[in-house]
Structure 1
Amino acid sequence: MSVIRSGRPMDWRQVCAVANGENLELSADARARIGAARKLIEQIVARGIRAYGVNTGVGALCDVVVSREKQHDLSHNILMSHAVGVGAPLGAVETRAIMAAAINNFAHGRSGVRVELVERLVALLEAGCVPDVPAFGSVGYLSHMAHIALVCVGAGQVTWRGEHMSGAQALRRLGLEPLALEAKEGLSLVNGTPCVTGLAALALQRAERLFDWADVVAAMSFENLGGQVAAFDAESLAFRISPGLVHVGERMRGALTGSGLLASALGRRTQDALSMRTIPHVHGAARDVLATAAEVVNRELASTTDNPIVAGTPEVPQVFSQAHAVGASIALAMDSLAAAVAQVAAMAERRLDRLVNPLVSRLPAFLAQAGGTRSGFMIAQYTAASLVAQNRREAAPASLDGGVTSGLQEDHLCHATPAALKALAVIENSNRIFGIELLAAVQAYDLQPNDGERAPYTQALYQQVRGVLPTYRDDRPLADDMTRAFHMISDDGPPPLPGPLRTQVPSGTYVADSVVPVGAGTPASANDMLPTAVGT
């Protein structure tokens, strides 16, 4: 199965599909658009029309005219001088996402690169040949794509079929010759926002999965702590206008339908702690941020982010040399998403603390099987608190970092790619936090003094975890269990909720979705949680 870049731009889910291994193909009309734009560049070169990065230097050297004979050198040298990334390389999925976004950008037909160059990137994707792309060193968008593009000219390093080799060696094995770059191609290869857009698409995918887990793990903690299910009453939640809140409330009701534990807790308290009763509000707000961020990423994929942009006809070529390569909107979106995820995870740690604290949980201290000689989840909560603090640091807005580069020519920086990298880091930390909460919630079920039955959904999830991890008795390193739970959350979504429920679409709308029923129908109010009287 392949993703086809046709007359329509790719969306973020298609970018993720390619990142995760699907092939990417160029349609005939996409090739035609790319070829037409190249003809415009050829006319600009032939007529000596002044165009940034085509026949001038770049950055602060934009007023230095480059002769036609030197334009190949300019393109080639841009790759060499801009490949300045540092640190460990990105993963294969992240690099493929960037490459997919770059191909999508060129397929708009406004950059002026040759079809052969775009096809070279497609060929690397199809072969599973992944360039080494150092993760850090970019204030915007330059270094990541430069390291990818090095392979096209027979430089750089790649990993292919588990073997690390030079770009030149990889091309030989693939039966390909290094490309000699022509006018503007070097600049277009490093320009625009493909790096942040590709990474942002992955951030959306991973955040969406995390939020699905967040709802159901929170439901397990809520059930263990005997929460007041009125917090998820549809009539009550309708007073606040938020698609995300309504969606989360519906999911919580679906997850907790038929809970004997909650039925026996009705009326125990007037209201619960905020980490329990604001689950729809906080998780819902985060889903609203996710929907907005998805719209921004899709708009970015539908936009030409290059400088300069070419348009017009071969008879009257036009050059637009402005700032479409700057990713202010997507930087702000990634900063917002990181903060939203961090807040959801911070509240998870508060519920975890309640689970291990016997003063509020009515459970054995720290969920230990025997007090005194066993510490249970005491120190696991420390780990979660540490990750929450790290998230707080990572969630500081990258888009406000600023800075001055290129001899005052580029004196406002949005740090879009670092914003996406930080969002990915926050999501990974949060997966670990929810993994710990999941383990604690399952352990709490084992120690639950209330003999009421669990909801069918939470019972199914409990059994899924216990199918691979036995009750914790301080009999093995807890870190190993935490790693298993982390992969359970990061690698796949949770079991489907009782349905039909509504599934959020990142555009901010909602559609009906049929899911596998796990329990009874969704209750309309807290009263529906009460046991049905029999024989009266």
Structure 2
Amino acid sequence: MVTLDGLTLKLEDVIRVAQEGEKVSISKEAWERVVRCRNRVEQMVANHETVYGVTTGFGKFSDVSISPEDVEQLQTHLIRSHACGVGPALSQDVVRAIMMLRANALAKGYSGISADTLRLLEDCLNHGVHPVIPAKGSLGASGDLAPLSHLALLLMGEGEADYQGMRMPAEQALSKAGLYPVRLKAKEGLALINGTQAITGIGALTYARAERLVRIADLIAAMTVEVLRGIPDAFDQGIQQVRPYPEQAAVAANMREILQGSKLTTRQGELRVQDAYSLRCIPQVHGAVRQVLTYVEDKLSIEINSATDNPLIFLENGKVISGGNFHGQPVAFAMDFLKIGLSELANISERRLERMVNSQLSGGLPPFLSRRPGLESGMMIPQYVAASLVSENKVLCHPSSVDSIPSSANQEDHVSMGTNAARHAKEVIENVARVLAIELIAACEAADHHGPHLLAPATRRLHDLVRETVKPLLQDRSLTPDIEHVANLLLDGVWLNQLVSQGGKT
């Protein structure tokens, strides 16, 4: 059970709820804050106070007064009009992350949500009633309005939901789970959709996958160093000390430890004086990618415990203040930075792959690692695929956060496009996993050529794990199933967890 209090949520908690199905519970202290804040909203309505989104319209209509008898209808219209996302539906784990993060933000007690509505959101998450949320349509400012409106529709008993593996009308899904829709009261619609939870939900899950990939990428790279008869001297501790980036030093230390016991690596001058950059500069490049992850983790950790809607209600002084915490710029920058960093992990991986399949660069490996060069093509076209994915990533890495299109008749005249950045980061990491998968499959083929017994103990364990499901390329076959299978295992951390449990170095 993960406790939501708006203050102490951790990224690993998001993963547990989103991907492992763990349930949530809102803390007693949070419920008390929610009730007190809701009482303040009821007071505003009773006193006919002019408050944005409570007794006024939204966006460009913020100067339009709403009569007391229409304040509830205003919220219903808001959700229905804003629930216009398009494109494929977000995956269930992303939807669960969004639901959890929105509940956590509301639990901070600055939004004015009612206990009944927040309780239903909590119950939907715990009962596995998931709204169908189209992936496209958010500007990443004013909140993730379109995606979160589809979440709010579920609580109203409208729209579509996924329940027990089936898609159905939301009202039917709620009924099957023994739940009942709510009628939104003053400010509740706005409280549900003003937030960065779509950006942050996608971002948190993408970060978790990136962290797994970065760790196992060192191990994959180390096997490639071995089969190319690389020179571990480049990973010497002294080199790292005179350029003291801690992440670079960590990767170099990891490489030294992984390669211990290898009978394939060479010394300076034995076969060549120095290796190509894609081998020699692994600590510098992989280390820089780890720096990116550190930055992204910091920003996500702040965002998942933030109040991001508008206006915010401050009980300590009674103020209701319109501001801009819904603007996704901090997370937009982080997502753009993440995808740029991850793309470099694939760029250098593809260059190592090229050295393995190119007989002019591989130091004696057969052309394209083919068992019968000429008659069979071996790993020729998988390298094409890796090159294609790397090129696609370069397009996806165009920063979304530098773009802004004015909306709402120029009232909302600067937006972050952070949700686009997060979606693209997710696509980038899936491409990176496939490139690393191709490198790993090729490295195993090359290791089989040399003899797997010559590998270091750490890389031999990884080789053996791969060979449990990916058979040697004794003759040409379609490698699509193998590439996708290995990529998914890398993204999910399956092999990483097995290697850690065995005492392997990652």
TM-score (norm: length of structure 2): 0.96
In structure 2, the residue matched to 1:175 is 178
Correspondence list, 1:132-143, <5 A: 132-140=132-140, 141-143=144-146
Write the distance in 2 (CA, Å) between the matches of 1:233 and 1:116.
61
Shift of 1:411: 0.8
Write the distance in 2 (CA, Å) between the matches of 1:255 and 1:291.
23
Classify 1:328/1:451 alpha carbon distance in 2 versus 1 (closer, same or farther; 3 Å).
Answer: closer
In structure 2, the residue matched to 1:206 is 209
Write the distance in 1 (CA, Å) between the matches of 2:107 and 2:496.
38
Correspondence list, 1:186-335, <5 A: 186-263=189-266, 267-312=270-315, 317-335=318-336
In structure 1, the residue matched to 2:8 is 9
Q: Deviations over 1:492-528 (max 9, x none)?
A: 2544799xxxxxxxxxxxxxxx974459xx9xxxxxx
Write the distance in 1 (CA, Å) between the matches of 2:330 and 2:170.
34
In structure 1, the residue matched to 2:88 is 88
Write the distance in 1 (CA, Å) between the matches of 2:258 and 2:455.
10
Secondary structure at the aligned position of 2:87 is classed as: strand
Contact 2:313–2:320 (CA<8 Å) still a contact in 1?
A: yes
In structure 2, the residue matched to 1:526 is none
In structure 2, the residue matched to 1:506 is none
Classify 1:408/1:128 alpha carbon distance in 2 versus 1 (closer, same or farther; 3 Å).
Answer: same
Shift of 1:265: 7.3
Unaligned runs of 5+ residues in structure 2 are none
Shift of 1:475: 4.1
Q: Deviations over 1:195-252 (max 9, x none)?
A: 1111111111010011012111111111111111011111211222322112211221
Write the distance in 1 (CA, Å) between the matches of 2:129 and 2:432.
30
Q: Deviations over 1:116-144 (max 9, x none)?
A: 11111111111111111000111111111
Secondary structure at the aligned position of 2:435 is classed as: helix
Secondary structure at the aligned position of 2:45 is classed as: helix
Q: Deviations over 1:424-481 (max 9, x none)?
A: 1100111111111110000011122x89821001111111111222210334311122
Correspondence list, 1:345-494, <5 A: 345-361=346-362, 362-448=364-450, 453-494=454-495
Contact 1:213–1:493 (CA<8 Å) still a contact in 2?
A: no
Write the distance in 1 (CA, Å) between the matches of 2:198 and 2:288.
27
Shift of 1:326: 0.4
Worse-matched range after superposition: 24-33 or 451-460: 451-460
One-letter code of the match for 1:52?
Answer: Y
Secondary structure at the aligned position of 1:359 is classed as: coil
Write the distance in 2 (CA, Å) between the matches of 1:356 and 1:329.
42
In structure 1, the residue matched to 2:113 is 113
Contact 1:384–1:436 (CA<8 Å) still a contact in 2?
A: yes
Shift of 1:322: 1.1
Write the distance in 2 (CA, Å) between the matches of 1:404 and 1:7.
31
Contact 1:254–1:497 (CA<8 Å) still a contact in 2?
A: no
Write the distance in 2 (CA, Å) between the matches of 1:370 and 1:490.
33
Q: Deviations over 1:361-399 (max 9, x none)?
A: 020000001111100000000000000011111111011
Aligned residues: 501
Shift of 1:317: 2.4
Write the distance in 1 (CA, Å) between the matches of 2:254 and 2:222.
9
Write the distance in 2 (CA, Å) between the matches of 1:266 and 1:320.
69
Secondary structure at the aligned position of 1:332 is classed as: helix
Write the distance in 2 (CA, Å) between the matches of 1:247 and 1:213.
13
Unaligned runs of 5+ residues in structure 1 are 499-513, 523-536
Secondary structure at the aligned position of 2:168 is classed as: strand
Write the distance in 1 (CA, Å) between the matches of 2:150 and 2:504.
48
Correspondence list, 1:97-176, <5 A: 97-140=97-140, 141-176=144-179
Write the distance in 2 (CA, Å) between the matches of 1:172 and 1:452.
60
Write the distance in 1 (CA, Å) between the matches of 2:100 and 2:260.
42
Shift of 1:330: 0.7
Write the distance in 2 (CA, Å) between the matches of 1:518 and 1:419.
34
One-letter code of the match for 1:53?
Answer: G
Secondary structure at the aligned position of 1:139 is classed as: coil
Contact 2:233–2:267 (CA<8 Å) still a contact in 1?
A: no
In structure 1, the residue matched to 2:76 is 76
Q: Deviations over 1:89-142 (max 9, x none)?
A: 011001001111101100110000011111111111111111110001111111
Contact 1:255–1:497 (CA<8 Å) still a contact in 2?
A: no
Write the distance in 2 (CA, Å) between the matches of 1:124 and 1:303.
22
One-letter code of the match for 1:18?
Answer: V
In structure 2, the residue matched to 1:19 is 18
Write the distance in 2 (CA, Å) between the matches of 1:61 and 1:9.
36
One-letter code of the match for 1:3?
Answer: V
Shift of 1:302: 2.5
In structure 2, the residue matched to 1:505 is none
Report the identity percentage.
39
Contact 1:258–1:456 (CA<8 Å) still a contact in 2?
A: yes
Secondary structure at the aligned position of 1:302 is classed as: coil
Write the distance in 1 (CA, Å) between the matches of 2:24 and 2:183.
24
Write the distance in 2 (CA, Å) between the matches of 1:69 and 1:9.
39
